[in-house]
Structure formats: structure tokens, C-alpha cells
Amino acid sequence: MLICGCIPTTYACKSDDNCQDRGVQGACEATGYCSYPDEDCPSRRRYDVYAPAALARQCVDDPEPTTTESASTSSGATPMETATSADTGGCEPAGCADQDGDCHGDGPGCLGPDCDDANPAHHDLCFYVAPDGDDAADGSASTPWLTFERALSALSPGTSLVLLDGAYPLDVHGALHIDCDDGTAVNGTSDAPIVVRAQNERQAMILADGVTGITVKQCAYWSLVGLTARGGDRKPSEGGSNGLIKVLSSTDITLARILAATSNRYHNDALYTFYESNDVLVEECEAHDFHRWAFLAWRTDRVFFRRVFVDAGQRADLAPCPTSSMDPDAPFCTSAPGGDSGFSLYSSVTGARIENCIVQGPVFEGVSVGSRAVNVTVAGSIFLGGPGYGINTPYQTDDAATRLTVSDTLVINPNWGGIYLGSPSDAQISGMSVINSKDDGVEIYEDIDGAPCSAQLGGVCTVDVDRTLVLDSANEGFSFTDPVDWSLRDSIAYGNGVDFPSGDAIDDDAGRITHSQSVPAGIGIGPGQCAVYIPDDSPAAGAAQDGQDIGATILTRIEEGPTDEPLWDPTTGAFPCGAEVEGINDNPEVSCATVHTRLNVFSNGCPRPPD
């Protein structure tokens, strides 16, 4: 990424759509530069500061604006085309190293330097805040603002706010409260999103200290990139609140490479909360040291989690826990020493996807799929080292989860089970590996005390399991409770207390268990073992009827389907983690940067698979 600490000196336009400033619509003049309303000019229009020196801040001469759609230079090209030597639809100017297609970058053919490669808007403009800024300044890189309130008021579609390195305590800078309903902020657009990012990844830290530090409310097309947010404990009577980062009633929001840590243990709290929002992408973010949930989604459609790393840590309950006290300042008590859930799809979540994510540590459940969840997918993900359940559908008060799909997912050392589904409706489990569960590996049951089965499918509990590998569970490898309508095929169970349900032959074409076997597969994270793929010398390699491996293969990135792009670094085996921050995510025993060594990814005697 090219990071430039300067603002473009000129900005050429092609149409009026290119001329927007802080929500004010301008006009693209025949000269190819933007003007904005100004009653002091005879034409009532004045060029902005990004016109060439001879025009900047000058009144427009002609009485009516003419967009450059029909204007041309002596060479027959519009001014924008002259500047870029290419049509801006593709925006690939000759002589310009342009990373994001906005005609700004490094080289003589660029419209100007690119202050933010994360923002694809053609209107390339950045403002800045700093720990020692001044709200009376102009918001440039050399004279940045101090408060988020001052900075947010300047942002319009296509602009970016850059946080310079340092700490941002809320009593000095205020919260990063982005509200597009109360006038604090405005919406971006699909072509010109608004971006808030750290100048250097994760080196700008918002210190929330027990209250909400970042909010996006009733907004569209905003992206937050590379920020760090850290919370803390604060009692309600002292102004404490729940939720460190919140996305509320918003659409088309992106959180990328965010680092969040330290939830408020006096509240039913989450590090990241998504409520009544849709089309949210959470990519390569991290969650550490949380109490209740790392990520909470509720009444939200199409939230996608990709390559997210969650470390439960050891954020124990505050004393006294458990407690029956009605004191509003009493601590909130959780179900497990490392928090309740890595991902909680709490209720009424539709189309959520958890892709290539890792949850490690003593959480109650890696993924919790709540009631009325529909079309949830968990793919290419890993749950490591002490989750109670890798994936769980907890007690259902009404309709159970419907159409849950789990594929190529690995659960290692769970305390209670790899996957535990109550009243599943049209669930599909394929290519899963569960290793060394302290209870069952795969357990499917009808939740009589909660919802018998989802009314959306006529009250029928159905689950189909194939190419799944369960090794060394203390209790049952596969457990199915009638009246669930289930089938199991092309699977392996070995070394469990009981490998398969009794009553069916496992290796024939008849019954509910077909083409399955009980053989040692040699999969794990011991010396010389592999877990993220099935080695060629394993009995599970190519053992399915169609020649596929039995068990999880987690080698490439998944983005609404498999891609050819490697998930792990081809040289080091590292997971795509963000920058480390001292005291938060830099402990090598549990960090994202070293998780590949704990999983034996191309290390500890597990070789790279052949191409």
C-alpha cells in the first residue's frame, strides 16, 4: 500500500457526480474542474481549492455551468482524459502506479498522490486527526484535528479520515460515533465509500475504558480499517455501557484488520456487536480478552466473517460470581472462564457466513447459532484448544436454526463436543474433523424442552452428515437421537468410546449409515501429524465414494465459495493476521501470528501438501 501524508493539489472532474464536498453538490465546469455555490460571485459559483492555481478559489466567469461530458480540449479529449490518458471508468492512467483505480497514486500520469488506497473513490481526499491535534487547524496531515466530532463533520462520499499513531482516550477525543441519522455523519455510496483508517495498521488506539468506543449507526457504505479499540471494566453507576464496537441499523459496512480487546465485565457485553444491520463484512479482524461474546449478531442479514482470529484468553468473572444479587452494579457472570461465545448469532440472523475463522481458548462455544437463524454457513474454520463446543445450537425458545451448513471445519480438544445441534432443520455437515473431544464428537438431538423442530420446515428435524472424521472422543463419535431424520455416509470414527450408533451396519449401501469405516486416520496436532489437510498416506485420503478425502481440508480462502488463493502463507505457513500491538496480541503462546505452529501448518513435521 502506498501511504502519502499529503492532500492532492488538483482534482479534475468528468461530470457533476464527481463534485461533492461535505454533502454539498457542485458542478463540473467546462474547464474540467469543480465549482461550488457561492452567493458572492456574479455567477454564484466558485472554484474550489483543488482547481489549478489560476482558477482555485476564483469565481466562475460564465453564467451557467457546463459539464465536461461535452467539453473537450484542443486535442479532442476531456480534461480528465488528458490528465489520465485513459477513460476513468477503468481509471488505469498511463504513467501512474494506481492501487485502487481512483487515478491517484505515484507517477506523472496521476491526478495526484493517493492518500488512501483503501478508498476506491475518484474524489481522493483525506483528513487527519492526531493525539495532539487542534480542532482550529485545517485537518491536513501537518495540522490535524483533535476530536472525532470535528473530523466527522468534514467527511463526504469518497473522503477518508486518517488517524495518526497514538492513543485516543475518549475524554480527550470523544468516541468515534458515526451517526448518519442525527447529522453527525453522512452516508457514503457504493462508488465512493467513506473510510476511517489508521495511518499505520493498529497503531491508532481508541481507549474506551468501559464504554462504547466506536459506533456506526444508520449509515451506509462506511469502512473502518486497521484501528485498535480497547475497553475495560466500568460499573453502570459510573457510566459504564456494553459494546466496544457497534454497528447498528446500518448497511454495506466493512470492518477490516480491526483489533479489539478487553470487554466490560459489569455488562452483558460483546467486543463487536451487529444489530438490525445487513451486508456487513468483517475481514481479518481480531478479538482478545473478552468476557461474554467476541462477536454478536442479532436481527442482522448477510454478515460475513472472513479470516477472523479470536483468542478467548482468561478474562475471568469478577467477584462475586455466580451471584443472585439484584444490585445493578453486580458483575455479569458467564458460562465459561474464557467467555461464552466466539461468534454468537443470537437470534433472527439470516445468511451469515463464518469463513476461514479461528477461535481458540476456553469459550463455552466457538459458534452459537440461535433461534430463527436461517441459511448460516460455517466453512473452512477452526476451533482449537478448549471450547466447550465447536459449534452449538443452544436452548431454543421457539423456532430452531434452519439450513445450517458446516463444511471443511476442524474442532480440536473440545471440552464437550465438536458439534452439538438441537432440533436441526435441513442441516448439512460435510468434510468435518473432530479430534479428542472430552464428550461426543458429533451429537444431533431433538430439543424437547425448547423447540421440537423449526416450523419453517413443517416440524421435521433433518440432518445429513458426510465425509466427517471423528477421532478419540471420550464418549460417542456420532450420536443421533430419534426422532431426528438423519443420514451418515462416507465417514470415519475411530478411538472413540463408541464409534457409531448401534443397529446399522456401517460399510454397506443400506440403512442410515453407509460407506463408513472405523480405521485410524493419523490426523492431529501431535509431532509429525497434520490437521488442516488429509495427508496422502492417511486411510482417510480419497476414501469417499467420489474419491474425496474424509475430514476437513482447510488450505485455501473461502469467499462465498472456494477460491484458489492460499489461506496460509506459502513460505511461512502463517495465518493472515494483522499487526501486533504490545500487551494485546503479541504473546507468542496464544497469538494469531503463531497459531499456524500450534496447528502444525507446514511445521512440526507436517509437510506442505503437494500442489
Q: Cα 491 vs. chain centroid, distance in angstroms?
A: 32
Q: Around Cβ 318, how many Cβ atoms within 10 Å?
A: 15
Band (183; pLDDT cuts 50, 70, 90):
confident
Name the residue with cell 462508488. Answer: 191
In this predicted structure, the answer to whether residue 172 has a pLDDT above a threshold of 80 is: yes
Q: Around Cβ 298, how many Cβ atoms within 10 Å?
A: 17
CA 340 – CA 336 distance, rounded (Å): 6
Residues 6+ apart with CB under 8 A from 12: 32, 33, 79, 80, 83, 111
The DSSP secondary-structure symbol of 82 reads H
What is the pLDDT of the chain when averaged over all its residues? Answer: 86
Are 384 and 360 within 8 A, CB to CB? Answer: yes
Q: Read off the pLDDT of each residue in 371-384 and give the average, rounded to a whole number.
A: 94
Question: What is the Cα gyration radius of the chain?
Answer: 27
Q: Read off the pLDDT of each residue in 264-284 and give the average, rounded to a whole number.
A: 95
In the chain, the percentage of residues whose pLDDT exceeds 90 is 62
Q: What is the largest CA-CA distance in the chain?
A: 92
CA 313 – CA 16 distance, rounded (Å): 52
Sequence ranges of the domains in the chain:
1-114, 119-339, 353-362+374-611
Here the cell at position 340 is: 461464552
Question: Phi and psi dihedrals of 246, rounded to 5?
Answer: -130, 135
Q: Reduce the DSSP state of residue 264 to 3 states and report it.
A: coil
Q: What pLDDT, in 10s, does the model give residues 333-356?
A: 887 765 789 999 988 999 999 999
Residue 448 pLDDT? 55
What residues form DSSP beta bridges with 106? 97
Q: Around Cβ 537, how many Cβ atoms within 10 Å?
A: 7
Residue 15 pLDDT? 78
Query: For 44-48, 97-101, 193-197, which range has the lowest pLDDT when averaged over its residues?
Result: 97-101
Counting Cβ atoms within 10 Å, is residue 190 exposed (0-12), middle (13-18) or buried (19+)?
exposed
Q: What pLDDT, in 10s, does the model give residues 451-500?
A: 556 555 556 678 999 999 999 999 999 999 876 789 999 999 999 999 99
Band (567; pLDDT cuts 50, 70, 90):
very high
Q: What pLDDT, in 10s, does the model give residues 127-153?
A: 999 999 999 999 999 999 999 999 999
Q: Cα 320 vs. chain centroid, distance in angstroms?
A: 34
Q: Reduce the DSSP state of residue 491 to 3 states and report it.
A: coil
Are 202 and 168 within 8 A, CB to CB? Answer: no
In this predicted structure, the answer to whether residue 75 has a pLDDT above a threshold of 50 is: no
Q: Reduce the DSSP state of residue 515 to 3 states and report it.
A: coil
Residue 74 pLDDT? 29
CA 235 – CA 330 distance, rounded (Å): 8
In this predicted structure, the answer to whether residue 58 has a pLDDT above a threshold of 50 is: yes
Question: Phi and psi dihedrals of 30, rounded to 5?
Answer: -60, -20
Q: Read off the pLDDT of each residue in 528-546 and give the average, rounded to a whole number.
A: 97
Q: Cα 148 vs. chain centroid, distance in angstroms?
A: 23
CA 260 – CA 585 distance, rounded (Å): 10
Q: Read off the pLDDT of each residue in 411-432 and give the average, rounded to a whole number.
A: 91
Q: How many CA atoms lie within 13 A of 79 on its CB side?
A: 19
Residue 475 pLDDT? 97
Residue 452 pLDDT? 58
Ranked by mean pLDDT, the top range of 93-97, 423-427, 441-445, 565-569 is 565-569
Q: Reduce the DSSP state of residue 294 to 3 states and report it.
A: strand
Q: Read off the pLDDT of each residue in 60-82 and give the average, rounded to a whole number.
A: 39
Here the cell at position 189 is: 455510496
Is the bond into 236 cis (omega within 30 degrees of 0)? no
In this predicted structure, the answer to whether residue 216 has a pLDDT above a threshold of 90 is: yes
Q: How many CA atoms lie within 13 A of 592 on its CB side?
A: 26
In this predicted structure, the answer to whether residue 363 has a pLDDT above a threshold of 50 is: yes
Residues 6+ apart with CB under 8 A from 335: 364, 388
Q: Name which residue leads in pLDDT, 289 or 122.
A: 289
**According to CATH, what is the number of the domain 119-339?**
2.160.20
